[in-house]
Amino acid sequence: MSQCPPEAINVVTDDDLFARCFSSSPTALLLVELRAPTFPIVSVNASAETLFGRDAEFLCGIAWERAFGAESPFADILQGLRNGVGVPDALGTYTKDREPPFWCRLRSRLILSQDGVATHALCTASDVSQEIDNEASRNYLATYDTVSDLPRIHVYEEHLSAELAQAIHHCYRLLMCYINVDRFGVINETYGFDVGDRLIHCIADRLAECAGSRELVCRLAGDEFVLAVPDHASDTDQWELAQRLLDALNEPIVLDELGLRLTASIGVASFPDTATSVHELMQQASVAAREAKRENGGDSIRVFSKEQRDELDERLRIGAHLRNVVERDELELHYQPVIDAGKREIVGMEALVRWRSPQLGLVMPERFISLAEDFGMIAELGQWVLLRACTQARSWLDQGVGDFTLSVNVSGLQMRGQQLIEDVNRALNKSRLPARLLELELAEDVIMTNVEHVTSVMRELRKIGVKLAMDDFGIGQSSLGHLQRLPVNRLKIDRSFVAAVPDDVSAARISRAVIGLAHEFGFTVVAEGVEKPVQLAFLERNGCEFVQGNFFSKPVKEEAMLAMLRRPELAPREEIGDDQGGTILLVDDEQNVLRALARLLRRDGYRIFTASTFKEAFEILGTHPVHVVVSDHRMPDGKGTEFLGRVKETHPHTVRMILSGYADLGVVTEAINGGAVYRFLTKPWDDDELRKTLHEAMRMARQGAATETDS
């Protein structure tokens, strides 16, 4: 028996059987006459009547074009079949009376006579609206972000590439803004994700309105957007553009009865000023936005500059060499001693990684650690540092060195999951270093980023036996509640504060507060970056137990560190200011006055220091314990009341006096009432009265020192 072609159906000879099959089919069927020029429909079944909303009396006998429309996708299907050139299927919409259109798929097959002539066509019809809707939904989901109704990044980049090509061809600028909404996570946590999603849509609407089109805006992540602006006249001020976006976000957004006012950190980049591609535009705008948030904490703008482009190019150049740095054995460790401030002994060291690159030379960590984090290499690098430092420490112990504490820095990315715990166990087991000798340093901002998880990891580390320190303390946002629960052993005062003491009032106040707070919680304190004797004296006087910095030693290689460990005692501190009478600092710009006062007061057994400027006075205060400060009021570098006000902040246990022939009595009185000045004496002075007043001041100073010691 010969096979019929797949697009044809043989004639059914049993007419009754054909009719019954035709009418009872659940599929909509239409029989069309092909020999008539209008292709009339000659028969339909009940399923077709239901599908098209027309009865058989209406459909049967009418021309194909009348039934489906001359311009519909179905119009030429039968003619194509008859001529052997058409596609047997068609997809289009059909509209019933007073109903919305639906998607209909028609499949048509020829019916041949016994002599092989196409006399009829049997058409099947089906409603595929749901299928089309599902496909459209899939396409939309693949193309647009459902929360913001903005194009997804791959679609956005295609559109942006086309826009950039136009900018190149027509010689105009293309501006890119990177918008990072400030504190959006707090809104989600406070009001719920539903409010957060609705807020995202409102933000998208406002940005699209500023851009002039939704196709120019894209949502990258939860609270991050990018917005492109074709600058056809090449005269748009980038700062003003970003400010308009900030202003738009600052306008209150009302959701139900909730009114929200948003801020953002916005970075701006420009083609062709700094960028040459879509990737560079987005990268540079992102860098600028991060800089804006880092420098100002939010609600700020940063325009990417050519200088930043050079810095970014340098980062990428360094990053290219950084790959496989561990395998190439290009890393090395240097060690900086940690000193017991009271005993002047080395009690430990901090391991500091260096990269000795054949191409770049010796690279300091501030140039490559952040790159290692960005490139996903920090875990491998951290594992290397930990194992190498522990192995070296074990070697020192085996060479007869006494106990010490080895400090190793930990990146925030190493704190994710439980990997750090495994790394520490592995390093301790391989090196055989006792856990009690290892201290891990975690930056304050790392701990505060995810307090609960980090605290959990820290507790596990403490169970192992290692010590923990909070690094860079004072520059982050630790709360007292969190600090009290953290399983740390000591705090490290950030070097930015140490560099400014004792002269800077704020730095001195913060440093004293950190030391006092640490002691309240049972922590010890390490001060980083000690470079000068005045800094060391200030820290020691205020109870800081440990110090490190270039004043004692720069970071050194393992051989030099071993030599230090074998002789850990440093030169004893200078014993000064122990005279029975106490120490007085005289400040005056007239040398004859200083000489006369010094001669007078040495009779009473005082140790006398003199300074002709406030700067000299602070240097003396930083290096020597002073009981009483006597200052002229009118000095070349300022007023005595202002100077003594600063002394009160940085050296609160001193007794402070004004000795001057000129004074604004109102200012002096205010200083006395505020506690900055104990007594005001006039020039010329009475020797006996001055000696009596200073004797009383010295008694007060010694009482204050005794009280502090007892407490």
Q: What is the CATH number of domain 142-304?
A: 3.30.70.270
* Of 69-73, 122-126, 170-174, minimum mean pLDDT range: 69-73
With b meaning 16 or more CB within 10 Å and e meaning fewer, what string describes 587-601? bbeeeebbebbeebb
Listed by start position, the domains of the chain span: 8-127, 142-304, 330-566, 583-710
Query: Bigger pLDDT: 93 or 70?
Result: 93
DSSP letters spanning 7-33: TEEPPPS-HHHHHHHHHH-SSEEEEEE
Q: Indicate whether 307 pLDDT > 80.
A: no
Banded model confidence at residue 102, pLDDT cuts 50, 70, 90: confident
Q: Indicate whether 3 pLDDT > 50.
A: no
pLDDT for position 85:
52
Banded model confidence at residue 79, pLDDT cuts 50, 70, 90: low
Helix ranges (H only) for 27-144 are 46-52, 56-59, 64-68, 77-83, 129-143
Q: Indicate whether 84 pLDDT > 70.
A: no
Banded model confidence at residue 476, pLDDT cuts 50, 70, 90: low
- Provide CB contacts within 8 A for 454, sequence distance 6+: 415, 442, 446, 447
DSSP letters spanning 655-700: EEEEEES---HHHHHHHHHTTS-SEEEESSPPHHHHHHHHHHHHHH
* Of 12-16, 182-186, 682-686, minimum mean pLDDT range: 12-16
Q: In whole angstroms, what is the distance from residue 365 CA to residue 411 CA?
A: 12
- The superfamily CATH assigns to domain 330-566 is EAL domain (3.20.20.450)
pLDDT for position 478:
54
Q: Indicate whether 499 pLDDT > 80.
A: yes
At 66, list the tokens: 């009348």
Which among 456, 457, 518 has a CA at the least distance from the CA of 492? 518
> Residue 434: helix, strand or coil by DSSP?
coil
Total Cβ atoms within 10 A of residue 235: 8
Supply angle C-alpha 485, 488, 492, rounded to 5.
120
As a whole number, mean pLDDT of residues 688-693 equals: 90
**Backbone torsions φ then ψ of 97, nearest 5 degrees:** -60, 125
Query: Bigger pLDDT: 75 or 350?
Result: 350
| Tens-digit pLDDT profile for residues 200-209 | 999 999 999 9
Q: Indicate whether 371 pLDDT > 60.
A: yes
Q: In whole angstroms, what is the distance from residue 374 CA to residue 367 CA?
A: 12
Q: In whole angstroms, what is the distance from residue 676 CA to residue 658 CA?
A: 10
Strands 300-303 and 634-635: unpaired
Q: Indicate whether 710 pLDDT > 60.
A: no
- Please determine, looking at this structure, whether the domain spanning 8-127 carries the CATH number 3.30.450.20: yes
- Provide CB contacts within 8 A for 309, sequence distance 6+: 274, 284
DSSP letters spanning 336-363: EEEEETTTTEEEEEEEEEEEEETTTEEE
Burial status of residue 485 (CB atoms within 10 A of its CB: 0-12, 13-18, 19 or more): middle
pLDDT for position 325:
86
In total, the chain counts a number of residues equal to: 711
Residue type, 566: R
What percent of the chain lies above the pLDDT cut of 90? 29
Q: Indicate whether 706 pLDDT > 50.
A: no
Strands 224-231 and 173-181: antiparallel
* Of 102-106, 386-390, 429-433, 460-464, minimum mean pLDDT range: 102-106
What percent of the chain lies above the pLDDT cut of 70? 90
Find which of 148-157, 252-261, 301-310 is predicted with most confidence, using mean pLDDT. 148-157
Q: In whole angstroms, what is the distance from residue 79 CA to residue 66 CA?
A: 15
Residue in the block written with tokens 């006792």: 434
Query: Bigger pLDDT: 357 or 72?
Result: 357
| Tens-digit pLDDT profile for residues 621-634 | 877 788 999 999 88
Calculated CA dihedral for residues 424, 430, 434, 437, nearest 10 degrees: -60
pLDDT for position 1:
39
pLDDT for position 577:
36
Mean pLDDT score of the chain: 84
Find which of 9-18, 130-139, 249-258, 638-647 is predicted with most confidence, using mean pLDDT. 638-647
- Provide CB contacts within 8 A for 438, sequence distance 6+: 390, 393, 405, 406, 408, 424, 428, 466, 467
Banded model confidence at residue 496, pLDDT cuts 50, 70, 90: confident
Cis peptide before 5 (omega within 30 of 0): no
* CATH T-level topology, domain 583-710: Rossmann fold (3.40.50)
Residue type, 47: S
Which is it for the CA torsion 621, 626, 627, 633, positive or negative? Answer: negative
> Residue 58: helix, strand or coil by DSSP?
helix
Q: In whole angstroms, what is the distance from residue 15 CA to residue 22 CA?
A: 10
What's this model's pTM, rounded to 2 decimal places? 0.54
pLDDT for position 389:
96
Distance of CA 238 to the CA centre of its chain: 23
